[in-house]
Amino acid sequence: MPPRQPYEPIHEAPSSGSADRLAAATWQPRELLNVERAPFGIAPSGERVDRYVLTSPSVRMAILTYGGRVQVLDVPDRNGVRSNVVLGFATLDGYLSAPDVYFGAIVGRYANRVARGQFELAGRRHQLTCNEGRNHLHGGWHGFDKRHWEARTTRSNHKEVALVLGRTSGDGEEGYPGVLEVEVTYALTVDNVVRIDYRAATTRPTIVSLTNHSLFNLSGEGTGTILDHELKLNADRYTPTDREQIPTGAIATVEDTALDFQRLMKIGSRIGAAEEQMILARGYDHNFVLGDAAYGESRFAALVVDRRSGRTMEIRTTEPALQVYTGNRLDGSLVGASGQSYERFGGIALETQRFPDSPNRHDFPTAVLAPNELFHSKTELRFRTIPQAK
On whether the CB atoms of residues 299 and 293 are closer than 8 A, the answer is yes
| Whether pLDDT at 30 is above 60 | no
The fraction of the chain above a pLDDT of 90, given in percent, is 87
On whether the CB atoms of residues 208 and 183 are closer than 8 A, the answer is no
Residue 152 pairs in a beta bridge with 164
CB-side exposure of 220: number of CA atoms within 13 Å?
12
In this prediction, residue 96 carries a pLDDT of 97
- DSSP-derived secondary structure letter, 24: H
> Given 126, 213, 229, 286, which residue is catalytic?
213
Is the model more confident about 5 or about 133? 133
**Identity of the residue numbered 339:** G
Q: How confident is the model at residue 1 (pLDDT cuts 50, 70, 90)?
A: low
In this prediction, residue 370 carries a pLDDT of 97
In this prediction, residue 289 carries a pLDDT of 98
| Whether pLDDT at 84 is above 80 | yes
Question: Lowest-confidence range among 3-7, 142-146, 172-176?
Answer: 3-7
Residue 92 contacts by C-beta under 8 Å, 6 or more apart in sequence?
40, 41, 42, 43, 49, 64, 66
> Given 160, 174, 319, 351, which residue is catalytic?
351
In this prediction, residue 305 carries a pLDDT of 98
Q: pLDDT tens digits for 236-250?
A: 999 999 999 999 999
The helix (run of H) or strand (run of E) holding residue 314 is: strand 311-317
- DSSP-derived secondary structure letter, 268: G
**Identity of the residue numbered 22:** L
- DSSP-derived secondary structure letter, 190: T
Is the model more confident about 164 or about 23? 164
Query: Mapping DSSP to helix (H, G, I), strand (E, B) and coil, where does residue 116 land?
Result: helix
How large is the average pLDDT for residues 273-277? Answer: 97
Q: How confident is the model at residue 178 (pLDDT cuts 50, 70, 90)?
A: very high
Alpha carbon separation from 45 to 42, 63, 90, 109, 167 (Å, rounded): 8, 19, 20, 20, 15
- DSSP-derived secondary structure letter, 112: S
How large is the average pLDDT for residues 43-72? Answer: 96
Judge whether 351 counts as a catalytic residue: yes
Instruction: Report residue 62: phi and psi, to 5°.
Output: -110, 135
How large is the average pLDDT for residues 85-94? Answer: 98
**Four-CA torsion 240, 243, 248, 254, nearest 10 degrees:** -10
Judge whether 276 counts as a catalytic residue: no
**Identity of the residue numbered 77:** D
| Whether pLDDT at 79 is above 70 | yes
- DSSP-derived secondary structure letter, 150: E
In this prediction, residue 6 carries a pLDDT of 45
C-alpha to C-alpha distance for 302 and 231, rounded to whole angstroms: 7
| Whether pLDDT at 367 is above 60 | yes
Q: Long-range contacts: 361-367, Cβ < 8 Å, 24+? A: 361/247, 361/249, 363/249, 363/251, 364/239, 364/247, 365/295, 365/320, 365/321, 367/110, 367/207, 367/208, 367/209
Mean pLDDT (the chain, rounded): 92
In this prediction, residue 316 carries a pLDDT of 98
How large is the average pLDDT for residues 4-25? Answer: 39
3-state secondary structure 27-76: HCCCCCCEEEEEEEEECCCCCEEEEEEEECCCCEEEEECECCCEEEEEEE
In this prediction, residue 31 carries a pLDDT of 61
Query: Mapping DSSP to helix (H, G, I), strand (E, B) and coil, where does residue 273 land?
Result: coil
C-alpha to C-alpha distance for 169 and 195, rounded to whole angstroms: 23
- DSSP-derived secondary structure letter, 383: E
Map out the domains of the chain with their CATH numbers. Answer: 11-385 (2.70.98.10)
How large is the average pLDDT for residues 285-310? Answer: 92
On whether the CB atoms of residues 247 and 112 are closer than 8 A, the answer is no
Of 386, 383, 377, 300, residue with least CA distance to 73: 383
Residue 140 CB coordination number (10 Å): 24
In this prediction, residue 20 carries a pLDDT of 38
Alpha carbon separation from 153 to 35, 107, 162 (Å, rounded): 8, 21, 6
In this prediction, residue 4 carries a pLDDT of 52
On whether the CB atoms of residues 78 and 343 are closer than 8 A, the answer is no
